[in-house]
Amino acid sequence: MSTVAAPTTTSLFSPYALDGLTLPNRLVMAPMTRVRAAAGGLATPSMATYYAQRATAGLIVSEGVQPSLLGQSNPGTPGLHTAEQTASWRQVTEAVHANGGRIFAQIMHGGRVSHPDTTGLQPVGPSAVAAVGDVFTPNGPRPAPLPRALTTEEVPAEAASYAAAARRAVEAGFDGVELHGANGYLISQFLSSNANLRTDRYGGSVAHRIRFAVEAVAGVVDAIGSARTGIRLSPGATFWGVAERDVPELYGALLAELDRIGLAYVHLEATSDDEVLLGLRRAWQGTLIMNPALPMGPARAGRADADRWLGHGADLISFGRAFIANPDLVERLRAGLPLAADDEATYYQGGDAGYLTYPAYAHTA
């Protein structure tokens, strides 16, 4: 592992070597749910076009992809747990690579953030504690149901589902995978101190609450290698009603274990104050992707946010919503061009409108 770099004037547009994968710039397209998959969780030609349009990003991280039917959170999302799903993703990875890009698949197990109307199954979680809020279903928003608590014997199989999906991702042509350990989904639920009320080896102490995350990551690394494995985390976040005690200790312990295993990167969201995040930057000795904007917050991240975090020692900067309306975001930021506004009403509506219909910047004479 490399040591943490001192603050520098590193450019957002300088190349970066990510464990053997050369990125032409330091902009990462963050994972964003767009619910455009076909029936059966299949990737589509429109999805191939969408990602290929944004292939100038140094790295693309796909929308969350469920590793099993039980792990599906929202309707209309893609999977990586059947042969047909795996084959459907090849059109996406081939289109991105043909345009000169690089793409990781984000593996996302929803855990308790799901609904029987979506999967036909009762959601599972570390404990029988319902998420806070309404979840999306084919029949509209519904209150999050009470999940079934996984038994101690069942937990390793759910951890192993990430590795199974990772193998399929590599088979489908992805350059690697990112485990979704953030935003109140299954890994985050195990890290939590209120969604996880277990008294076995997966709950209670910090060492026990990080165990599921560590086992999931270790399984993926064993399956596809550390150079192809990253994880996204949201320290101190409260999505779907999760709460975390002792955030610096919890994430410090987790990062120490991840450092021992070895990963391509850790991807942090700005869900804690700078003091906590900078402490985690010092604790993590490898590549750090920083997402400066709070997910679903009032403002998009911009060039100033990126430069600030590069100065704080982040290696790569991820942008989410800015990539929705600006497929040429890299060039717009490089040239100081204005950014187009995204239409939030089209985020999850399906179809190509608000998906493939944002043009590149039109220069005028």
For the segment 179-209, what is each residue's pLDDT rounded down to a tens digit? Answer: 999 999 999 999 999 999 999 999 999 999 9
Share of the chain above pLDDT 70, in %: 95
pLDDT (0 to 100) of residue 307: 94
Distance (Å, rounded) from C-alpha 195 to C-alpha 293?
25
**Cβ contact 33:64 at 8 Å:** yes
Q: Is the pLDDT of residue 5 over 60?
A: no
Q: Is the pLDDT of residue 6 over 70?
A: no
CA end-to-end span of the chain, whole Å?
49
Q: Is the pLDDT of residue 324 over 80?
A: yes
Res. 293 pLDDT band, cuts 50 70 90: confident
> pLDDT tens digit string along 44-54?
999 999 999 99
Res. 4 pLDDT band, cuts 50 70 90: very low
**Cβ contact 196:184 at 8 Å:** no
**Cβ contact 175:224 at 8 Å:** no
pLDDT (0 to 100) of residue 144: 98
**Cβ contact 155:109 at 8 Å:** no
The SS3 assignment for 230 reads strand
List alpha helices for the chain, DSSP H. Answer: 45-53, 83-98, 116-119, 155-171, 186-191, 206-209, 211-224, 247-261, 274-283, 303-311, 321-325, 329-335
Where on the phi/psi map is residue 40: left (φ > 0), alpha (ψ -120 to 50), or beta? left
> pLDDT tens digit string along 251-285?
999 999 999 999 999 999 999 999 999 999 999 98
Instruction: Give the H/E segment covering residue 29.
Output: strand 27-29
pLDDT (0 to 100) of residue 363: 77
pLDDT (0 to 100) of residue 299: 59
Res. 9 pLDDT band, cuts 50 70 90: low
Q: Is the pLDDT of residue 7 over 80?
A: no
**Cβ contact 337:306 at 8 Å:** no
Indicate the average pLDDT of the chain.
95
Q: Is the pLDDT of residue 235 over 90?
A: yes
The tokens describing 164, both together, are: 């199974």
Contact partners, residue 117, CB within 8 Å, separation at least 6? 137, 138, 139, 142
Active site residues: 185
The residue behind tokens 């990510």 is: 18
pLDDT (0 to 100) of residue 70: 98
Domain boundaries, the chain: 16-346
Res. 294 pLDDT band, cuts 50 70 90: low
> pLDDT tens digit string along 96-148?
999 999 999 999 999 999 999 999 999 999 999 999 999 999 999 999 999 99
pTM of structure = 0.95
| CATH (residue range 16-346) | 3.20.20.70
pLDDT (0 to 100) of residue 303: 87
pLDDT (0 to 100) of residue 221: 98
